Amino acid sequence: MQKTASSSTLGPDGLDIAQSFFKPIQGASPPPPTSRSTKISVVGVGNVGMAIAQTILTQGLADEIALVDVNAEKLRGEMLDLQHAAAFLPRTKISASVDYSSTLASDLVIVTAGARQIPGESRLNLLQRNRALFSKMIPPLAAGSPETIMLIVSNPVDVLTYVAWKLSGFPSNRVIGSGTNLDSSRFRFLIADHLDLNAQDVQAYIIGEHGDSSVALWSSISVGGVPILSFLERQQIAYEKHTLEKIHREVVEGAYEVIRLKGYTSWAIGYSVASLARSILRDQRSIHPVSVLAKGFYGIDGGEPFLSLPAQLGRSGVLGVTNIHLTEDEAKQLQESAKTILEVQSQLGV
Ligand SMILES: NC(=O)C1=CN([C@@H]2O[C@H](COP(=O)(O)OP(=O)(O)OC[C@H]3O[C@@H](n4cnc5c(N)ncnc54)[C@H](O)[C@@H]3O)[C@@H](O)[C@H]2O)C=CC1
Ligand SMILES: CC(=O)C(=O)O
């Protein structure tokens, strides 16, 4: 397929028509020097890539979105479908290409390309297929946007974020995995549902692997600034440990259930990744549990595992990792999660 321009012109005479449409204001001062526009590339326009592109578009986070996929027809169809919504959205240039060079000079490259789980399949099972794709995709993406921040979404996201870090040659603060930002949202939803609250008032983190060995940080959950477990204890309100474990199990099994029911997950990851794009590109310095190089944090000393920790995100990517108090048990579970990831990583030979 030809490289497809964003095609918002009216044809060769488009500019002339536009100029005759508006009468210039007499004595108007020249426009101020324009600030650089924000470009986001979304690589892979499947269920996940399109949910992300759609959410980013709706939230007006980019001046330009470049879509990339190997399926030329689907790609063009998705581009046109989004362009046809222009009248209802913030003005954004949308382009689509099978050529990675269309992502040139991106501020943020979001990678969602690759195989997804079939019902019952674990994320780690996708590794060999998606690692092969990454070897082809990441070097040209990194070469085209040497200053970009790379946000990995394809699964298994933690190990593939490590692969992308190695293949890109970028400093680790500029290669981030969407990690457990999504699991934490599932967690907050379930807690809020249990207590009949607004999920936005629940501060709660899932950290570690985006997958079966994730860790729920019960000890630091707070609602409206009130630490929940100590509040319940002070009020002598009984809670069963197995209720907490059940909520965490529902988080871990959430994706499996959605995949069994509808074939894939999309909307929640779309919002999750858009929230990361906002924090990064708007320099929000917000804290998100995302997959980062975890070596040296929370007693994780061996190897170079990428897994989710509460990280502060801003315009230069990962600004730092928050020092949340973990109980001994939580720290141990996190170190076990790191071991699980390292075992998989050690089979890669990157
Ligand atoms: N990290 C997370 O929280 C989540 C991750 N995922 C992962 O996201 C990935 C994508 O999932 P879906 O969108 O549902 O899959 P999908 O099958 O709908 O889309 C994958 C897309 O990748 C494209 N693709 C394949 N090779 C490519 C290449 N070399 N260059 C560019 N595009 C290429 C395909 O043509 C297809 O359009 C999967 O690995 C899935 O497990 C899904 C949901 C949440
Ligand atoms: C598929 C996946 O990783 C998720 O929805 O959590």
What local confidence, expressed as pLDDT, does residue 9 receive? 46
Give the ligand at the shortest distance from the Cα of 155. Answer: 1
Mean predicted lDDT score pLDDT of the chain: 92
Nearest to 177 by CA among 198, 202, 205, 208: 208
Nearest to 315 by CA among 107, 104, 58, 64: 107
Ligand 1 midpoint to CA 171 (Å) = 25
Please indicate if the annotation marks 344 as binding a ligand: no
Mean pLDDT along residues 319-343: 96
**Separation of alpha carbons 137 and 247, rounded Å:** 37
Q: Assess whether the C-beta atom of 160 lies below 6 angstroms from ligand 2.
A: no
Active site members: 210
Q: Identify whether the C-beta of residue 313 lies closer than 8 Å to the C-beta of residue 277.
A: no
Give the tens place of pLDDT for each residue, 110-121: 999 999 999 999
Query: Which helix (H) or strand (E) covers residue 157, if one does?
Result: helix 157-168
Atom of ligand 2 at shortest range from CA of 183: 6
Nearest to 290 by CA among 171, 117, 152: 152
Structure-derived torsion over alpha carbons of residues 116, 122, 124, 128, reported in degrees to the nearest 10? -50
**Separation of alpha carbons 149 and 146, rounded Å:** 9
Atom of ligand 1 at shortest range from CA of 152: 1
Residue nearest (by alpha carbon) to ligand 2 atom 5: 255
Ligand 2 midpoint to CA 12 (Å) = 45
Q: Is the pLDDT of residue 136 over 70?
A: yes
Task: Identify each DSSP E strand in the chain by its residue range.
Answer: 39-43, 64-68, 93-97, 108-111, 149-152, 175-177, 202-203, 206-207, 215-216, 222-223, 226-227, 286-293, 306-314, 317-321
**Separation of alpha carbons 338 and 20, rounded Å:** 63
Residue nearest (by alpha carbon) to ligand 1 atom 29: 133
Q: At 147, is the secondary structure helix, strand, or coil?
A: coil
Token pair, residue 62, equals 């980019």
Mean pLDDT along residues 55-82: 98
More confident residue, 25 or 220: 220
Ligand 2 midpoint to CA 258 (Å) = 9
Please indicate if the annotation marks 323 as binding a ligand: no
ipTM higher than the 0.85 cut:
yes
